Structure 1
Amino acid sequence: MFRWLTDQYPDVLNRQLEQGLSDDLIVDNFYLDMNGIIHPCTHGNNEGEIVILDETAMFKKIFLYVDRLYKLVQPSKLLYLAVDGVAPRAKMNQQRSRRFRSAKEAEAAASEILARAQQTGKIPEDWENQKRFDSNCITPGTDFMLKLSLAMQKWVEFKMQTDEFWINGADVIISGPDVPGEGEHKVMDFLREAKEGKVYSKDLYQPDHTHVLYGLDADLIMLGLASHEKNFLLLREKMSVVMAGRGRNKYRKRKDMLEYNENDFEVLDLSGLRQMLGLQFRKYLETENLKVKTFELDRIIDDFIFMCMLVGNDFLPHCPHLEIDGGALSLMMNNYMDLLPDWGGYLTKKEKLHPERFEQFMYHLALYEEEHFSRRGYEENEAGWKLSSENEDDKDDFYGKFYTGNPTPACAQAANRRGSSEPAPEEIPMAPSGNRAFRRSHPDSTSRSYRDFYYETKMGWKPEDRSRTLFRRRAHVRDYMEGLHWVMNYYHNGCQSWDYFFPHLYSPLATDLVNLAELYSERDEDGFCAWEFEKGTPFPSLAQLLSVLPPQSADLLPKPLAELMLHPSSPLLEYYPSDFKADANGKRQSWEAVVQIPFIDGARLLETVQQILDADQNGQNILTPGERRRNMPGKVHYVPAPGERDPNRGRKLIATKSSPKRPSSNRKSRQVR
């Protein structure tokens, strides 16, 4: 995402921080996504290196780096330190997959390193007794994160008493790992509340403030745009610095983080990106000589965020052929600009979606789906991907068979389960429809398409059992649409459901996303549809650890809870496989593979954990006081600067541009891989 944006709109990226102070653009509020600091500060400088746990040294490095960033940016009003707390269930599933994969890779890497050390005779002294660092401890609810949180509070208080820069500087807000929510979303929640006047001091937020958010995640770009703040910038280390010694930068000397200087950072100007998107649409309307000459930039921005969301987010798998590296986002932008004048309106309205416009939008993208799978068939030497849709018989139309009523969540859940709880195929209500965008048939052993192959190999849905498979595919589409609304809500309004998650490892095909209006019962006056969610509550920290940690990290849990991962008689044992498959799914990088592990049954897990906690509270002393503390919710800490604020505090991070250049054209880019 970052590379695509900077290729298309190169002027938004400034690779050289400006020297000195400036009156025309000073930073008011500086937000740190702390997990982007904690991870690199606790890992070794050399790739593949086994790190020995030294908490004191790690904490010191984290705090020194925060101090370095603070003095680099020099915010005049606020420094916000946001550490990841318990995430919504939709994110926890992704965290679970990542941690299972990283644990498996760490085991293999440790074995390889130890084998090499044994060959050379350079085994570290006292190797067996040294406690090696498990990066999975950077998860809310662990002993490591509790200690880090307490140490951070003490360190900030210490700096406010001893360092003139801090004493006469910005106020500090600390949202630690015991406060629910992802770090970057805590920042967005703060901004939303500040706009409503819910802030510690009016001085901490004004509409014309300049906001800088530090972090590496591409998600930050969409969140920053979704804030619609007038002045918003992203600060991050240059990838050539972060990746030094690896890949294309393998000949570049790797620096320790505390050695980074101003030249090692870059700034992405989201305010400039807003301007360039506006310029791009204005130029297009003028060039095409269209009747529509005006548009609402904020609505264009929201639709752009939605398109970015379709090619990748942390909560939903994207449609297989919509790869950003394959040109999908460029194709989306082209189609969007072609369709927008005819629509007479927009694709989204914050968390709402216009189903007919979205269906038309996806129709144009789906035209490239078969080409994608055909190419993938040759790359993977898999004949199933090359099965043509022309094999299907036009006598039957899959999209002429859909629910007469709106499929309810309970109905969809039944469709997603295997076993006797599913409705019998003859009980599924179907009705004819005039939508014939794509043809389908009853496939048999001699008539199959890539679509049948996809759902059979990825979802286990047999094309021979046609009625049941059609039911499942329609429920799959319903689940996906619900997921899109959840993510839209998350970006624009914050978490609307802590319990929601997409209950599949793979997305539906784009060619299945039709008759979408049938999934909604109500519209607003402009034809936009919303999806209702139940708010729910965040998982307690210890239950969350059980939800995301692999069995290799069981020692990060209190022993009674660790046994739930390891003991043969545990009621939760099935959720912690010692081995699993990872499906490359057409991707090149191992970290992109689909980790095939079961979804946790949240209700079952919470009930099991609660039984242990109840026994502890009834005097059995199952947990230690420290372990109980790890499960307690915390609060946000506000630490005002005690001194006289320096009126000249602030620094210029980017050169002021009098007028943005026209973005690089992508109007000729029509191919998507």
Structure 2
Amino acid sequence: ALFFFQELEESIMRERFRAQGKEVLPRDDAPREVSDPNIITPGTEFMEKLSAALEYYVRARLSSHPRWKDVKVILSDANVPGEGEHKIMSFIRAQRSMESYDPNTRHCLYGLDADLIMLALASHKVHFSILREARSKGKLPKKPYQFLNIWVLREYLELEMTIPGCKHDIDRLIDDFIFICFLTGNDFIPHIPSLEIHEYAVDLLIDVYKTMYKKMGGYIVDTDKIKDKHAAYVKISRLEKFLHELSLHEEKIFLKRYELREKLLRKIQRQAAEDEWNERNYEIVEESADVLEQECISVCTDDKPDVTENTLELKRDLKDNLRSKQDLFKNGSSKHDRIRLGLPGWKSRFYKEKFGAETSNEIGRLQTEMVQKYLEGLCWVLRYYFSDVPSWSWYYPFYYAPFASDLKHLSQFKISFTVDKPLRPFDQLMAVLPPERHLMCPSKMLQQINGL
């Protein structure tokens, strides 16, 4: 249903662009960043060639370009395990542990990933900036790049999270802020179902935190104990109190979301009916429109719009529209929605529809397992952000996170991770490559296979 909706939405928008006189490329010719996004996965022939090209480029610049003369370049390509931004942060942490480290060293990290903001905050380095490409609809902005200065963000967070009448440590407030934001989801664990960033979930988390700070008894995490193998870096009793307060908002959020989705669905249905009526009448004027279009092309060839730019604009607008509407088909209020979050009995319906759990015993066992794995996930991500990978083989095994109201009795779970080795590039490729893709693997990777 979601795929059909995407096709329909794109067709509607293409007709809208055409009516505005904006010519766009056919679907098959639309510009893409790469022909197959799987080629940028570690272990592919493309990534091996890229590594060789980067090494050649760096060596050539260091040997011939005067501005590179006193620059130290560290190349950590896809053959080195780990995500790029996390490898950079590990390097910065290693620098800080050296006696010769200058605390006034300034850092600048480039990238659009929101994780960079959290990682920069987690470093507690004041002189830290993130260089980002400016995003805007339509034409390119006058300044294509912008700096996000972490020291400014720290000041705003301090103002936002300060609890009246309480002495505070800004670094520990930021640590807690990073931790509670994990509940909105990231690359490793899904978001709590009632928390959506576009619904101001971060504002809610901050409000709940400030409300509960005194009742909790202080900060939730202690990163000074981040190396503790028994997860003592998270105060479980305080986290439980925070989650309980958060759960009190859960049903209200679902009910409000349900009402808004029903309203949006009715609007979409009306629009679809109008589009169907317009399509029936479109054929009547199609021939005359084609004639006018040909005349316009013959007279105004010098003013022909930039087709590629129009197509990219179409793709951006389509992505924005789908983002705002797609949850109608994922878990919203379509006519096939059997869960109806927020309405009486929603939780048992959720576990039945999503997991096939029928009885209360089955649901109870499932909830317990999900809560344990999610708590492990929170601890895993916390250590990953502030220290290093606690386990290369750990993963969250469910597509959905538990509800906030299910996250209780946390002290019964014992959290520990097995220190192991990362996957080799070819193994990682085989773990993530879709079955319908067949990519050539380089000779180095074939040697890995032969060595198994």
Which residue in 2 is equivalent to 1:86? none
Deviation (angstroms), 1:279: 3.2
Is residue 192–residue 404 contact of structure 2 (8 Å, CA) maintained in 1? yes
Q: Counterpart of 1:161 in structure 2: which amino acid?
A: S
Match of 2:368 among 463, 468, 474: 474
> Which secondary structure state, in structure 2, belongs to the residue aligned with residue 239 of structure 1?
coil
Is residue 39–residue 439 contact of structure 2 (8 Å, CA) maintained in 1? no
Which residue in 1 is equivalent to 2:68? 166
Which residue in 2 is equivalent to 1:19? none
**CA deviation string 1:445-491 (max 9, x = no partner):** xxxx11111111122211xx221221221121111111111111110
Residues in 2 aligned to 1:217 and 1:143: alpha-carbon distance in whole angstroms:
25
Is residue 231–residue 270 contact of structure 1 (8 Å, CA) maintained in 2? yes
**CA deviation string 1:55-111 (max 9, x = no partner):** xxxxxxxxxxxxxxxxxxxxxxxxxxxxxxxxxxxxxxxxxxxxxx99xx9xxx9xx
Matched, 1:545 2:429: yes
Is residue 214–residue 234 contact of structure 1 (8 Å, CA) maintained in 2? yes
Is residue 131–residue 146 contact of structure 2 (8 Å, CA) maintained in 1? yes
Which residue in 1 is equivalent to 2:222? 349
Q: TM-score, normalised by structure 1?
A: 0.48
Which residue in 1 is equivalent to 2:176? 303
Deviation (angstroms), 1:303: 0.2
Is residue 181–residue 205 contact of structure 2 (8 Å, CA) maintained in 1? no
Matched, 1:315 2:188: yes
Which residue in 1 is equivalent to 2:439? 555
> Which secondary structure state, in structure 2, belongs to the residue aligned with residue 156 of structure 1?
helix
| 1:246-325 correspondence to structure 2 within 5 Å | 249=137, 251-252=138-139, 263-282=143-162, 284-285=163-164, 290=165, 292=166, 294-325=167-198
For structure 1, list consecutive stretches of 5 or more residues without a partner in the other structure.
1-100, 110-119, 125-131, 241-248, 254-259, 390-448, 521-530, 559-623, 633-673
Which residue in 2 is equivalent to 1:192? 93
Relative to 1, partners in 2 of residues 1:326 and 1:162: Cα closer, same or farther, differing over 3 Å? same
Match of 1:137 among 22, 29, 39: 39
Match of 2:385 among 462, 481, 491: 491
Which residue in 2 is equivalent to 1:226? 122
Residues in 2 aligned to 1:280 and 1:510: alpha-carbon distance in whole angstroms:
23
Match of 2:76 among 164, 175, 194: 175
Indicate the structure with greater helix content: 2
Residues in 1 aligned to 2:370 and 2:133: alpha-carbon distance in whole angstroms:
40
Residues in 1 aligned to 2:212 and 2:255: alpha-carbon distance in whole angstroms:
27
Aligned residues: 347
Residues in 1 aligned to 2:448 and 2:35: alpha-carbon distance in whole angstroms:
22
**CA deviation string 1:376-429 (max 9, x = no partner):** 44421436315645xxxxxxxxxxxxxxxxxxxxxxxxxxxxxxxxxxxxxxxx
Q: Which runs of 4+ in 1 moved over 3 A?
A: 279-282, 375-378, 381-384, 386-389, 624-627, 629-632
Is residue 216–residue 241 contact of structure 2 (8 Å, CA) maintained in 1? no
Is residue 348–residue 354 contact of structure 1 (8 Å, CA) maintained in 2? yes
> Which secondary structure state, in structure 2, belongs to the residue aligned with residue 345 of structure 1?
coil
Residues in 1 aligned to 2:235 and 2:44: alpha-carbon distance in whole angstroms:
43
Deviation (angstroms), 1:626: 6.7
Residues in 2 aligned to 1:319 and 1:159: alpha-carbon distance in whole angstroms:
48
Deviation (angstroms), 1:518: 2.0
Residues in 1 aligned to 2:449 and 2:151: alpha-carbon distance in whole angstroms:
40
For structure 2, list consecutive stretches of 5 or more residues without a partner in the other structure.
11-24, 227-232, 262-332
Matched, 1:458 2:354: yes
Is residue 541–residue 630 contact of structure 1 (8 Å, CA) maintained in 2? no
Which residue in 1 is equivalent to 2:321? none
Residues in 1 aligned to 2:190 and 2:84: alpha-carbon distance in whole angstroms:
22
Which residue in 2 is equivalent to 1:16? none
Is residue 175–residue 221 contact of structure 2 (8 Å, CA) maintained in 1? yes
Deviation (angstroms), 1:557: 3.9
Which residue in 1 is equivalent to 2:132? 236
Deviation (angstroms), 1:360: 1.5
Is residue 499–residue 538 contact of structure 1 (8 Å, CA) maintained in 2? yes
Residues in 2 aligned to 1:220 and 1:511: alpha-carbon distance in whole angstroms:
30
Residues in 2 aligned to 1:162 and 1:384: alpha-carbon distance in whole angstroms:
64
**CA deviation string 1:26-57 (max 9, x = no partner):** xxxxxxxxxxxxxxxxxxxxxxxxxxxxxxxx
